[in-house]
């Protein structure tokens, strides 16, 4: 049995949710979350998502657990309208 060689921890890509989304307005794959700002004390903040192609930009409330994919979800809800 070989000894387990301790591998140096190189940058290990974790399974992250995607950060680039397709824009509901122009359909281009250029939708990116610009920033998620959260006040650590209050636990509230805002997130901005923007399309690099058509310039569609929206901001939504964010919290400490807000991920880019959540911001995108908010955008989709806002864009298409919630419910019927």
Binding site for Zn ion (CB under 5 A): 23, 25-26, 51, 53-54, 56
Give whichever of 46 and 53 is closer to Zn ion, judged by the CB atom: 53
Least Å distance between CB 78 and Zn ion? 14
Query: In angstroms, what is the minimal distance from the CB of 35 to Zn ion?
Result: 18
Beta-carbon contacts of 21 under 8 Å, excluding residues fewer than 6 positions away, are 29, 31, 32, 49, 68, 69, 72
Nearest-approach distance from CB 27 to Zn ion, in angstroms = 7
Alpha-carbon distance 51 to 22, whole Å? Answer: 8
**Three-state DSSP class for 71?**
helix
């Amino acid at each position: 049995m070989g000894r387990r060689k301790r591998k140096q921890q190189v940058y290990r890509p974790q399974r992250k949710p995607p950060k680039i989304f397709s824009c509901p307005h122009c359909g281009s794959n250029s939708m990116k979350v610009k920033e998620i700002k959260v006040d650590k004390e209050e636990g509230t903040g805002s997130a901005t998502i923007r399309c690099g192609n058509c310039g569609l930009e929206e901001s939504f409330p964010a919290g400490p657990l807000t991920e880019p994919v959540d911001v995108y979800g908010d955008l989709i809800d806002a864009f298409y309208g919630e419910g019927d």
